[in-house]
Copies of this chain bind each other. A is one copy, B any other.
Amino acid sequence: MTSLGGGSGERDGETATASRIRDAAIERFARDGFRAGLRTIAADAGVTAGLIVHHFGSKDGLRRACDERVLEFMRREKEKALTDGTGTMLLAQMAQVEQFAPMVQYLLRSMQAGGELAAQLIEHMISDAEAYLSAGEAAGVVRPSRDRAARTRYLAYQATGSMLLWFTLHGADAEPERFPALFRQYMGELALPALELFTEGLLVDRSMLDEYLMYVPDPPPAPHDAAGTDGTAS
């Protein structure tokens, strides 16, 4: 009934049934996590478990197909939406559209479980943020950093990670119908503190930062773990 493709559900070399199975899998994985059984997905798609492995080889093959579909969809959708550099806005906008909500939920499930798609996604977001922050610096609205790469990664991890945690605690077992509303609520609670922190910071004076800069080499320290048993930086 609901074709996740938003138009072109089928791709090169894929039969209509295969794409229907794959879309049902995305929806079921989004709802129940990746421990959902093949028979459940098969029932959702109105087919048999055997047919799934006939088309995708194995459950892992099915998951790879889902990953690929979601990733390609994200790539295509990214250029149509104005991003805030962290991907949060992009996901938020996508979650509003009922048709795309399962994709966002599937994505968060992926990050919950780890794996290739999650890693690619976060790197994707980091490179987006890199471009966005660089443009902001050039335009004079974003302060330059002593280590731009590190800051970019830091911001992307913060934004994505807090969203993931929030989803895990409040939205993982929720019906997909409630998902857009939950996402709106998350953004609403987020906006003010984020803007405050981004424009005014958190600390009153610079002593902590300056103190830190006294003790470590400036831009990019050794990327590999040095010795140093002191873990406390107060």
| A interface with B by C-beta (< 8 Å) | 35, 82, 89, 92-93, 96, 111-114, 118-119, 122, 140-143, 145-147, 150-151, 153-155, 157-158, 160-166, 168-169, 172-173, 181, 184-185, 187-206, 208-209, 212, 216, 221, 225, 228-229, 231-234
Contacts and interface: CB of A to CB of B under 8 A. Distances in A.
A196 B168 contact: no
28 contacts: A35-B35, A82-B232, A89-B232, A93-B231, A111-B168, A112-B168, A143-B200, A143-B204, A146-B196, A150-B192, A150-B193, A151-B192, A153-B189, A154-B162, A154-B189, A154-B193, A154-B197, A158-B161, A160-B161, A161-B162, A161-B164, A185-B225, A187-B231, A191-B216, A191-B233, A195-B208, A196-B209, A198-B208
A153 B169 CA distance: 13
Contacts of A232: 82, 89, 93
Nearest to A227: B184
Contacts of A82: 232, 234
A147 to B, nearest CB: 6
Contacts of A208: 195, 198-199
A165 B122 contact: yes
Given A141-B203, A199-B209, A203-B198, A184 B151 contact: no
B204 A201 contact: no
The DSSP consensus for interface residues of chain A is helix
A75 to B, nearest CB: 20
A84 to B, nearest CB: 8
Nearest to A188: B221
Contacts of A172: 114
A131 to B, nearest CB: 16
Contact of A206 (B112, B168, B199, B204): B199
A196 to B, nearest CB: 6
Contacts of A169: 114, 118-119, 122
A151 B196 CA distance: 9
